[in-house]
Amino acid sequence: MKILFYGRLADAIGPELEVPAPPGSSVGDLRNNLTASHPEIVGVLRSRRALTCVGDRLVHDDYRLTDTDTLEFLPPVSGG
Amino acid sequence: MSVVAQLEESALDPARELATLLARAEGDGAFVSFTGVARPGSKGGQTVYRLVLEHHSVLTARSLEQIALDAAARFDVSHVHVVHRVGDISAGEPIVFVGTASLHRRAAFEAADYLMDRLKTEAVFWKREIGDAGSSWVEPTAADYADRERWG
């Protein structure tokens, strides 16, 4: 499945990543995998102000992903 | 009642936006406008040449609309007008315009204040400063989040 990253996460990981998502994988599972492979940005990946989305809807760590989902990781936002 | 929530890819002209609001809200007694401008210096005191505001193809516009609609519902205002830049913004250029109109001043002041507190912390943008210190991401400060919390 595809993961998209924005802001400082895109800087660290790249804007897009293709990863295997075994059946039953959750957003939390993928977050754990990413923090293991990118420990330098664990603070952003686990920030309570970071958001995860599928299909432009917010999802939480318990959301179960399918192979056709595109997961988006949004670091803390800042307008104005 | 009108609610405008717009992303702007080219230069933002606050005078033009205010004129639009004034014309649209004829008959109201109070107009408040706020313009946020890209500062030429970072918090650390280094020169900033420009900002880059990255956005999301769907969620950014949705966040602006939701914040503007929430302000319109919460305060006794007749018009809410939000325009936010995306892309490259040179130091000194406007980033955001917020305008509100109401019969009496208090609602217009409060709605503009509320809009900015939410835009700073919830509008879906990622802000990068480019300057003498190189490139760095800018996120809301603890004070920005505290300002947002005032509204519950």
pLDDT of residue B44: 87
Q: How confident is the model at residue A76 (pLDDT cuts 50, 70, 90)?
A: very high
Residues of chain B with pLDDT under 70: none
Cβ(B71)–Cβ(B114) below 8 Å? yes
pLDDT of residue A72: 98
The CB-side HSE value for A17 (13 A sphere, CA atoms) comes to 21
Instruction: Say yes or no for a CB contact (<8 Å) between B138 and A78.
Output: yes
CATH code, domain with B8: 3.90.1170.40
Q: Is the pTM of this model over 0.90?
A: yes
Domain presence at residue B83: yes
Domain presence at residue B47: no
Structure tokens at B31: 């107009």
Instruction: Among A7, A56, A74, select the one facing B137 at the smallest CB separation.
Output: A7
pLDDT of residue B50: 98
Instruction: Say yes or no for a CB contact (<8 Å) between A79 and B123.
Output: yes
Spatial separation of the C-alpha atoms in residues A28 and A46, rounded to whole Å: 10
Q: What residues 13-52 of chain A have any CB closer than 8 A to a CB of chain B?
A: none
Q: Residue B117's domain spans which residues?
A: 2-37+63-125
Q: What residues contact A67, with CB distance under 8 A and at least 6 apart? A: A1, A21
Domain presence at residue B81: yes
Neighbours of B28 (CB within 10 A): 18
pLDDT of residue A23: 85
Domain presence at residue B90: yes
A19-70 residue pLDDT tens = 988 888 999 999 999 999 999 999 999 999 999 999 999 999 999 999 889 9
Place of tokens 């603890």: B142
Domain presence at residue B16: yes
B30-60 residue pLDDT tens = 999 999 999 999 988 999 999 999 999 999 9
Helical pair B105-122 and B59-74, crossing angle rounded to 10 deg: 150
Q: Does A12 touch chain B (CB under 8 A)?
A: no
Tally of structural domains, chain B: 1
Cβ(B41)–Cβ(B48) below 8 Å? yes
